[in-house]
Structure 1
Amino acid sequence: MMKMILSLVLLASTLTTTAQGGTPVVSPNKNIQLFTGITDGQAWYRVLYKGNEVLQKSKLGIERQDEQFTDGLVWKSVSAVEKVNDNYTSVNAKKSSMVYRANKRTIHLQNAAGKKLDIIFQVSDDGVAFRYYFPDAAADRKTITAEHTSWHFGSDVQAWLQPMQEAQGGWEHVYPCYEEHYLQGISPATASPFKAGWVYPALFKKQDTWVLITEAAVDSTFCATRLQSTAPDGEYKIGFPDTREVFTGKGSLPESTLPWYSPWRIITIGSLKTIAESTLGTDLATPAIPIDHSFIQPGKASWSWALLKDNSVVYDVQKQFIDYAADMHWQYCLVDVDWDTRIGYDKIKELAAYAAAKKVGLIVWFNSSGDWNTTKYHPKSALLTREARDSVFSRLQTMGIKGVKIDFFNGDGRSMMQYYLDILQDAARHKLLINFHGATVPRGWQRTYPHLMSAEAVKGFEMITFSQQDADAAANHCTMLPFTRNAFDPMDFTPMCLYKIPRIERKTTSAFELALSVAFLSGVQHYAETPEGMGHVPDYVKGFLRTLPNHWDDVRFLDGFPGKLYVVARRSGRKWYIAGLNGENTAKTIKLDLSFLRGRKGALITDGREPLSFVQQAVASPAGKPTTIELLPNGGFVMLFE
């Protein structure tokens, strides 16, 4: 009897879809099927992976202040399937050359008043993407007041989610800045501890299938979004920002003339390998703006503030860190807070010239904020208008400064999105690299604005230096990030303390810290270790870091589980680098399939028997059997195959 009922339900669903004109959109490899239709005037979609339902009927719909497109919708027509073929390159991603292939179909809807709404679906081998489009023309600005998009997994799903910080909370009222630990393997009955909800990317496991949700192509007409804090029956719903998350005096809600596209809603679907290797977060981003790319050079940076804090931002110490960067063959040195008074513009210009002579570029820090928080660090409020930015950026360019780290933004409202993008556009004219801190997740902006080297949006290394509790959680946290925060977008975690942290007992091993240099992705990787700390490591570790590539050509996920283990192989040219992180305080023996390296010989650097020590040994990729690696509790390793 139950089988008969189930068959009737499935038949009814199919008939509804067919009657409305909707037919499946199928991935090129046929593994993913997306169905969409209208029932009782409400639009929905549903997703299968290898024949198994990943998303039940999930809601579609959007409300404008002048019109609603949620109820009373009528299916007008559906386009034929179109092939989407896109190829692009990047020096700030897990691969240097990306290939995106998808099948595209647009459904044309109409509301009760006869106003049009299109929903564009694209299905690739690694997931589903969709966006809303208002095709009508209107010169007056329309406002979106709500979006009804949902992701209905059902109650049998596990989630790995980071709570969204509430606006105006935290130290000096700097929240939200995406700096919380992840709740791991939770049921949908678990509400976010903050009413603001959950951040992207959001990771889920439905039976044996993994799903990662995020968005891309957020422009100055839209706000960034998140997931709402509760998910009855495993139906996660989209949420808009707090109305306080704005540039002072400006708006939060999406606003634009027509026609108008929404950002892409992205659902990566497959195995953990799919999640770790996918580039959907940039595949759906807006292509690069036309700028001179000659100044966009990825690299590595020395940085005094990570371990030495405010008092290190003085001329003599910064000169030492320039020397340190030059000795390590790193491309940049970051000069942090209050440099404008502790060092001064004239002496910074002198340092920039000194650094240039050693083939090192200077990056300097700015406070983004006006009055939306109470931070005192400076230069502050120097970038609030285009005229001010042009003046400051022109001066920095003349001084020989190569990039700017900008801190303490104010969340995800539309006007704050506008501020981010205005900064990126103005910096491009003055050939300055950008790193956003106290900031939102980039959501693919690094493709559109390739001089966006990195963004924080993570509970990074600085938190470990402040709190033993965060240090205790570091191994687990770092093995979460490649599957979530760092899956698509560059992440300025500022990793790698190889020796000691002042006033904190480090719980990760030195080889774990070394492995972060390969595991984490950032266009400019700011390393926390100091010249003194680097003096305690063997020459072969220094040699590894001196020759580490500045960007990657390819990636292979080898093993892992969120919060427990992460092993990845990255290629630069002909060389393959492998990094492993043990996220648990338990020794492990792992077996890796390195058959793709058959016949090559390499070197393994892992933890020695004594604390804070390393050991190096030759290693080969034997034919026909796995390579065995022993990992200490919270330990790690790197391998290099020439």
Structure 2
Amino acid sequence: MKSFWKNTALILVPLLSLAGTALAQASYNLLSPDKRLEVRIRTGERFQYDVLFKGTALLQNSSFSIDIDHTTLGLQPKVKTTKERSYDGILEPPVRQKFAKVRENYNELRLTMDGNYAVVFRAYNEGVAYRLETSLPQAEVKVYGEESSFNFAGDYRVYYPQEESFFSHNERHYLPVNLNTIAPSAIASLPAVVEAANGVKVAVAEADIEDYPGLWLRGTSNNGLAATFPPYPLKETLEKDRDFKVTQAADYIAVTRGTRSYPWRLLGIAEKDGDLITNQLVWLLAKPSQVQDTSWIKPGKVAWDWWNALNIDGVDFKSGVNTQTYKYFIDFAAKYGIPYIILDEGWYKLGNVLEVVPEVNMEELSAYAKQKNVGIILWMVWKTLDDQFDPAFDEFQKWGVKGLKIDFMQRDDQKLINFYFKTSREAAKRHMLVDFHGGQSQITMTRTWPNMISGEGVRGLEWSKWSAETEPQHNITLPFTRMFLGPMDFTPGAMLNATKKDFAPIFDRPMSLGTRCHQLGMYVVFESPLQMLSDSPSNYLREPEIMEFLAPVPSVWDDTKVLDARMAEYALVARRSGKDWYVGAMTNWTARDLEVDFSFLPAGIFWLEAYQDGVNADRVASDYKKTRTQVTRDTKLKISLAPGGGWAGRIHQ
């Protein structure tokens, strides 16, 4: 085995204190395969570790422990044995979010401790992670708390998705603030992305969460962030038809098995901003697929009804939640080879997913969709599904439903994490996709449950129906922050586009902030194996030139290359599906010129069909120009992006 670690204190040296002899301290160093990352681990009064990149400290004196049945594992730790190993292999994801083949390459150090537990550290080229493992004699234990600190080497800037409470959709802005301005009471969902020394970015996140609450963060006012967790719910109350709130919480965070592995606490590390977009550490650290046969899982685009308020025109029937309108959506999907449509809120009587509203004939729709080779995905409130779990799944299967869009969880305490697992498992048995909205932690589970095809936990396009908060500055921050966790169902595709001056939030006739090409660029820059077409089919049918791009653009990718990117400013990304390449660009409110270097292409001559901001896109945001030209791997093309603009291109032979 290749040597990758060194024990710097095989002979434990006692440290003296005024009170006498303190606990002996041992130190261990763990290097990434490329040796650029180093983790320095110490045991003494507690576990502590440092993280260095190219010899420069990123984190210092970070610590961790866990309180199980009022015994704290990690205080005064005593190492019994150490074991090191390396791994270098190729994985082939059943759902290709970024790559058809993913290299997993890490060095690992396992410390087995007195007290029936172990600590495992891993160093990848893309980041570092640790987890706790227990083999306790108790069959069941209570976890009263987990301490995990991320102490940085300075008062760095951090993109911090601050929350009001643990009850949240996790649809946040990632606003840059300094670490020491974050109060201990200011909690945040994941990830927090820190701009550390020399511009290196550090994304704080987790992976392989099961039967345990989700990780949240809080400030420390001392160059750091610390873990916090939603407590275990004792009493819950349903408000209205969808908000199932915790009204009484326990003084512990989990009731779980005495023998188990706890979630990974991870730091994704990127020397270049664009490396955050291709980093797959969360996916790599997740449990492998629990779905044995994944051949039935079909990613693709989906025509969505809710954002456009079912507004269609040029027909001889009243549009709305009814069979005729959904047949229109099915016809549109079939015309352009779009594999799915969604029936969002309105198809069932709220509180009972088994009671379809009289305006919708589900059997007729199912038969029509099957005839047209279009799958139906049904929206529902999670609590209603949970209450009617088995009969609901039986009915969905009878209808031939291909997927479920489950909404309004707004929690990731242990009970909700277990709901994600239960539902994804049952859906997989029935060959159904799952798209969880109204929450975020589940998106770290897509390797474990590949039928969990996408998910929300993002301030997406829907916000433009009631506010101006989904705008280009926010949009271009997402690839470097929220998308680090996994796919995000942002729901792009607006055909009515507006400048700052022209924008108005109109719930039933919504528009987007930024240019038409800003929207098109999202289909390449943003990742979602179930990618929405959010606007009305009528609007798309009026835009056949736009559909020449939106119809063929894939939702999964064989290769991804970030050509140029700067955190929260712009991104230029190339992705390949089969032999075709797609390039997307997005910018914030700053107009800019970028250069597309086509050296990623193989030898040969290719056609480039490009969509660029029109010369008047700064005044009329829907203004664009389509061009068709030939390119080779030697081509370098200057592109101009308007304020809030974008660019999109398809490259094929």
What TM-score does the superposition give when structure 2 sets the normalisation length? 0.86
2-structure distance, mates of 1:511, 1:238: 39
Contact 2:443–2:454 (8 Å) recurs in 1: no
Contact 2:155–2:223 (8 Å) recurs in 1: yes
Mapping 1:337-348, distance limit 5 Å: 337-341=345-349, 343-344=357-358, 347-348=361-362
Mapping 1:33-48, distance limit 5 Å: 33-39=38-44, 41-48=45-52
| Matching residue of 1:378 | none
Mapping 1:66-215, distance limit 5 Å: 66-83=70-87, 85=89, 87-110=91-114, 115-139=115-139, 141-167=140-166, 175-184=167-176, 186-191=177-182, 195=185, 197-207=187-197, 208-215=199-206
2-structure distance, mates of 1:301, 1:56: 46
2-structure distance, mates of 1:451, 1:247: 29
Contact 1:313–1:336 (8 Å) recurs in 2: no
Q: Which amino acid aligns with 2:192?
A: A
2-structure distance, mates of 1:309, 1:317: 8
| Matching residue of 2:221 | 232
Deviations 1:335-368 (A, max 9, x none): 0112024744971121111111111111111111
Q: Which amino acid aligns with 1:201?
A: P
Contact 1:216–1:284 (8 Å) recurs in 2: yes
Q: Which amino acid aligns with 1:278?
A: N
| Matching residue of 2:521 | 515
Q: 2:313 aligned with 1:308, yes or no?
A: no
| Matching residue of 2:207 | 216
Contact 2:193–2:481 (8 Å) recurs in 1: yes
1-structure distance, mates of 2:46, 2:488: 38
2-structure distance, mates of 1:348, 1:27: 54
1-structure distance, mates of 2:409, 2:573: 32
**Residue aligned with 1:340, SS:** coil
Q: Which amino acid aligns with 2:210?
A: D
The verdict on how the C-alpha distance between 1:73 and 1:305 changes in structure 2, with shifts beyond 3 A counting, is same
CA displacement at 1:505 relative to structure 2: 5.8
| Matching residue of 2:268 | 268
1-structure distance, mates of 2:297, 2:75: 48
Of the three residues 589, 593, 611, the one matched with 1:605 is 611
CA displacement at 1:55 relative to structure 2: 0.9
| Matching residue of 1:566 | 571
Q: 2:355 aligned with 1:364, yes or no?
A: no
Contact 2:528–2:555 (8 Å) recurs in 1: no
Contact 1:305–1:312 (8 Å) recurs in 2: no
**Residue aligned with 1:305, SS:** coil
Deviations 1:317-344 (A, max 9, x none): 2121111111221000000112024744
Contact 2:29–2:38 (8 Å) recurs in 1: yes
**Residue aligned with 1:532, SS:** helix
Q: 2:86 aligned with 1:61, yes or no?
A: no
1-structure distance, mates of 2:577, 2:14: 51
| Matching residue of 1:326 | 334
Contact 2:170–2:410 (8 Å) recurs in 1: no
Contact 2:336–2:551 (8 Å) recurs in 1: yes
RMSD: 2.7
The verdict on how the C-alpha distance between 1:442 and 1:195 changes in structure 2, with shifts beyond 3 A counting, is same
CA displacement at 1:20 relative to structure 2: 4.2
Of the three residues 545, 548, 552, the one matched with 1:547 is 552
Q: 2:284 aligned with 1:283, yes or no?
A: yes
| Matching residue of 1:298 | 299
Out of 52-61 and 614-623, give the one that drifted further: 614-623
Deviations 1:115-159 (A, max 9, x none): 2331101111111011001133432x1111111111111334111
Q: Which amino acid aligns with 1:528?
A: S
Q: 2:37 aligned with 1:27, yes or no?
A: no
Contact 1:93–1:490 (8 Å) recurs in 2: yes
The verdict on how the C-alpha distance between 1:273 and 1:240 changes in structure 2, with shifts beyond 3 A counting, is same
The verdict on how the C-alpha distance between 1:85 and 1:345 changes in structure 2, with shifts beyond 3 A counting, is farther
| Matching residue of 1:428 | 428
CA displacement at 1:633 relative to structure 2: 0.6
CA displacement at 1:88 relative to structure 2: 3.4
1-structure distance, mates of 2:234, 2:646: 39
Out of 143-152 and 620-629, give the one that drifted further: 620-629
Deviations 1:93-126 (A, max 9, x none): 112221211001112233xxxx233110111111
Q: Which amino acid aligns with 1:158?
A: R
1-structure distance, mates of 2:187, 2:234: 14
The verdict on how the C-alpha distance between 1:226 and 1:600 changes in structure 2, with shifts beyond 3 A counting, is farther
CA displacement at 1:615 relative to structure 2: 0.9
| Matching residue of 1:404 | 404
Q: Which amino acid aligns with 2:95?
A: V
**Residue aligned with 2:331, SS:** helix
Of the three residues 593, 596, 600, the one matched with 1:592 is 596
CA displacement at 1:465 relative to structure 2: 1.2
2-structure distance, mates of 1:80, 1:630: 51
Deviations 1:270-302 (A, max 9, x none): 222321111111100000114432331111111
CA displacement at 1:71 relative to structure 2: 2.6
Same amino acid, percent of matched pairs: 26
Q: Which amino acid aligns with 2:321?
A: V
What TM-score does the superposition give when structure 1 sets the normalisation length? 0.87
Contact 1:22–1:78 (8 Å) recurs in 2: no
| Matching residue of 2:536 | 530
Q: Which amino acid aligns with 1:335?
A: L
CA displacement at 1:72 relative to structure 2: 2.5
Contact 1:103–1:124 (8 Å) recurs in 2: yes
**Residue aligned with 2:522, SS:** helix
| Matching residue of 1:5 | none
Contact 2:98–2:559 (8 Å) recurs in 1: yes
The verdict on how the C-alpha distance between 1:408 and 1:321 changes in structure 2, with shifts beyond 3 A counting, is same
Aligned length: 595
Out of 285-294 and 448-457, give the one that drifted further: 285-294
| Matching residue of 1:352 | 366
CA displacement at 1:557 relative to structure 2: 1.1
| Matching residue of 1:376 | none
2-structure distance, mates of 1:623, 1:329: 30
Runs of at least 5 residues in structure 2 that lack an aligned partner in the other structure: 1-7, 16-23, 238-245, 312-318, 350-355, 498-504
The verdict on how the C-alpha distance between 1:234 and 1:508 changes in structure 2, with shifts beyond 3 A counting, is same
1-structure distance, mates of 2:594, 2:330: 39
| Matching residue of 2:240 | none
